[in-house]
Amino acid sequence: MSEHILLMLALVGGLSALFQVISWWARIPVILMLLMAGILLGPTLHILTPDKLFGQVLFPLISIAVAIILFEGSLTLRFDQIKGQGNVVFRLVTKGVLIGWLCITIAAYYLFNIQWGVAFLFGAIMVVSGPTVITPLVRAIRPKANLAHILRWEGIAIDPIGGLLAVIIYGWIESKNANAAIASMALNMLTTFGFGFIFGLINGFLMAELLKKRWLPDSLLNICVLNWVILVYVLASFIIDETGLLAVTIMGIVVANRKNVPLDTVLDFKETLSTLLLSGLFIILAARIETKYIHLIFSYSVLIFLIIQFIIRPLSVIICSWGSNLVWQEKFFLSWIAPRGIVAAAIASLFALKLETMHYPRAYLLVPIVFLIIVYSVVLPSLTGRLVGRLLDVIEPDPTGVLIIGANKVCREIAKVLVSHDIAVTLASVSWENVSAARLEGLTTYYGNPVSLHAERNLNLIGYGKMLTITPNQELNTLSGIRYKNIFGMDNIFYLLTSSEKKLPEKLKASRKYVGANLFETEVTYQQVASLLSQGWQLKSTTLTQQFDYDAYLQQYQGNVLPFCAFNAKNKLLLFTQQHKVIPESGWIIVSFIKPRE
């Protein structure tokens, strides 16, 4: 038995990692593959049976996993991200929840012929979205920053709110005295929300202070934070049922918005863990779908999904964004993206079992209806979200832009050539003299320290996919690589060696994993390139042909050429480095430093 459990866990973990890689490589939403894998392994082939495999620990494990995912998501929620859109987010998680709950309740009551209590519970479950589905969708679709922030804030904040609402509704259903239960619902809601909010607030301030003052050793930082999150979730839920998700969400938001709290290590670890948990949860919960009831409610599930997607969601967005600076294209896109996720599935599974024990008619239909709507609500934006976004012109541009650390003469010459090839470039420097010179040449600049908190909050990197560090300051080059590795990835970070660094023994040089690949195919330094420019060398672009290939190009200049980059037939920028050899082809454009003819 234990070998079978290990085999199933290894299978789920292996498929999770495999589909994440395929999703990244093929640029398709990973959620679709995870759902199909779960349905194939579960109800189709009966290889994976989560209820039998995990038994009574299934839902506690799901709850803890969701708490970790919510905390990780809330750590990325900063109030400065939603400047001007804060009211929209607040309305979506208050008015939007109320509108969605009541409208879905009415639709479910008349479509499914169920009692009002079950309809109210179904409505509460269906307002839940969550980072388990929003985060992968936003990454795959890549909408404009303001829309991405609104969707992420809504998805993360609405999860605990919808869960608490469902718990309160279930308490009303369970009560023998319905009138008394209705009278006490408002008080229960205030008490529940108030406790979860305060408990999360207190723990958030405590965690932020401990991290800020570095009272936790770096080697134990991740494990301490992880166990703290689990403890807060369990304690809050033990004191007042289902308040744990709200508590960990508030705790994460507090930590994220406190100044000078070092979060990079925690975020790296939590993001990796959340990706693993999210993938596994989708496979496991999709494997729990019971197909025997689907034929009974398929047409009704499609109908109520269409009502939710094309009537209720747009109505909610229009009301909640009234008076904001969002244009109609952005409102339309927000209306289009309304997926339901893990929390909805878990809550439906839990309360369906309780309602069946209370002999509520047709309560057994709750789980398959919810799962079908989850599938529809995920499949629609996954397949069409990017297309709709492009048609509405609310998608971020492809990340072809280049951030250059430095604004010296070398940086400016490189920037001008890249701009001439339709590459967006920003020069970031602490030298006002260099920044002023760059601005006079019509280049986009950021004046300030590129590794400062101000840069983190004000340096606009939408559409940027590469970074070049080209300064004589070895320490700034290294710090920039460390600071931006999570944004660009180390494969897209490049640096130019300094002459002082070149003379250092290997044990005194910064590791390449912190600074990226070395620019140029030979060991060239910043000082050497600057010297070449002072001698009159120029950056020139040359197009290769069948007759004039790369070898002929190099032979023509007889050593008086230093290839810097190339643009392939699709105008993709490829940089010459010591680590990755570029083999130019016919039709490519080569950009090199070339000595002028005498």
Q: What is residue 69's DSSP assignment? A: H
- The CA-based diameter of the chain, rounded to the nearest angstrom, is 99
Q: What is the pLDDT of residues 182-231, one digit of tens each?
A: 556 667 767 878 888 899 999 999 998 888 888 878 778 888 888 999 99
User: CA nearest 343: which of 161, 196, 193, 128?
Assistant: 128
- In this structure, the number of other CB atoms found within 10 A of the CB of residue 275 comes to 18
pTM above 0.95?
no
Q: Which amino acid is at 286?
A: A
Q: Which amino acid is at 545?
A: T
Q: Which amino acid is at 51?
A: D
CA distance 558 to 562: 11
Give pLDDT, residue 327: 92
CA distance 456 to 487: 11
> Can you name the residues that pair with 447 across neighbouring β-strands?
429
Give the angle subtended at the CA of 78 by the CAs of 77 and 79, to the nearest 5°. 120
Angle between helices 221-239 and 178-212 (to 10 degrees): 160
DSSP secondary structure letters along 331-348? HHHHHH-----HHHHHHH
CA distance 234 to 246: 12
Give pLDDT, residue 315: 94
Domains of the chain: 53-263+294-392 (1.20.1530), 401-594 (3.40.50.720)
**Residues near 31 by beta carbon (within 8 Å), at least 6 away in sequence:** 133, 136, 137, 282, 378, 382
CA distance 385 to 253: 28
Give pLDDT, residue 331: 94
Are the C-beta atoms of residues 372 and 182 closer than 8 Å to each other?
A: no
Pairing of strands 589-594, 561-567: antiparallel
- Which H, E and C letters describe 95-137, residue by residue? HHHHHHHHHHHHHHHHHHCCCHHHHHHHHHHHCCCCHHHHHHH
Per DSSP, helices labelled H in 473-569 are: 474-488, 499-502, 512-515, 526-534, 550-557
Q: Which amino acid is at 194?
A: G
**Residues near 376 by beta carbon (within 8 Å), at least 6 away in sequence:** 301, 302, 305, 309
Q: What is residue 511's DSSP assignment? A: P
Instruction: Judge residue 457's burial from the number of C-beta atoms within 10 Å of its C-beta, 0-12 exposed, 13-18 middle, 19 or more buried.
Output: exposed
- In this structure, the number of other CB atoms found within 10 A of the CB of residue 260 comes to 9
Provide the token pair at 197: 């909010």
Instruction: Judge residue 482's burial from the number of C-beta atoms within 10 Å of its C-beta, 0-12 exposed, 13-18 middle, 19 or more buried.
Output: middle
Please list the pLDDT of the chain residue by residue as tens digits (598 residues).
Answer: 567 778 888 888 888 888 888 877 766 667 778 878 888 888 888 888 887 888 888 878 878 887 887 787 778 777 776 666 678 888 998 899 899 999 999 998 888 887 888 888 888 888 877 666 787 788 778 888 788 888 888 887 787 777 777 777 776 776 654 555 555 666 776 787 888 889 999 999 999 888 888 887 877 888 888 899 999 999 998 888 778 888 888 898 888 888 877 776 676 666 677 777 778 877 887 787 777 767 777 888 899 999 999 999 999 999 999 988 899 999 999 999 988 876 677 677 767 767 766 777 777 777 788 888 888 888 888 889 889 999 999 988 778 889 999 999 999 999 999 999 989 999 999 999 999 999 999 999 999 999 887 787 678 787 888 999 999 888 888 888 888 887 888 889 998 888 877 666 666 566 666 678 888 888 888 999 999 999 999 999 999 998 898 889 988 888 789 999 999 988 889 999 988 888 898 999 999 999 887 6
User: CA nearest 467: which of 401, 547, 552?
Assistant: 401
Provide the token pair at 162: 């919808």
**Residues near 269 by beta carbon (within 8 Å), at least 6 away in sequence:** 222, 226
User: CA nearest 53: which of 372, 370, 352, 285?
Assistant: 285
CA 352 to chain centre: 31
Provide the token pair at 40: 């194939």
Q: How many residues make up the chain in this entry?
A: 598
Give pLDDT, residue 87: 85
Helix (H, G, I), strand (E, B) or coil at 8: helix
Instruction: Judge residue 113's burial from the number of C-beta atoms within 10 Å of its C-beta, 0-12 exposed, 13-18 middle, 19 or more buried.
Output: exposed
CA distance 348 to 366: 7
Q: What is residue 133's DSSP assignment? A: H
Give pLDDT, residue 310: 94
Give the angle subtended at the CA of 22 by the CAs of 19 and 28, to the nearest 5°. 95
CA distance 409 to 434: 8
Give pLDDT, residue 575: 92
First-to-last CA distance in the chain?
82
Give pLDDT, residue 29: 64
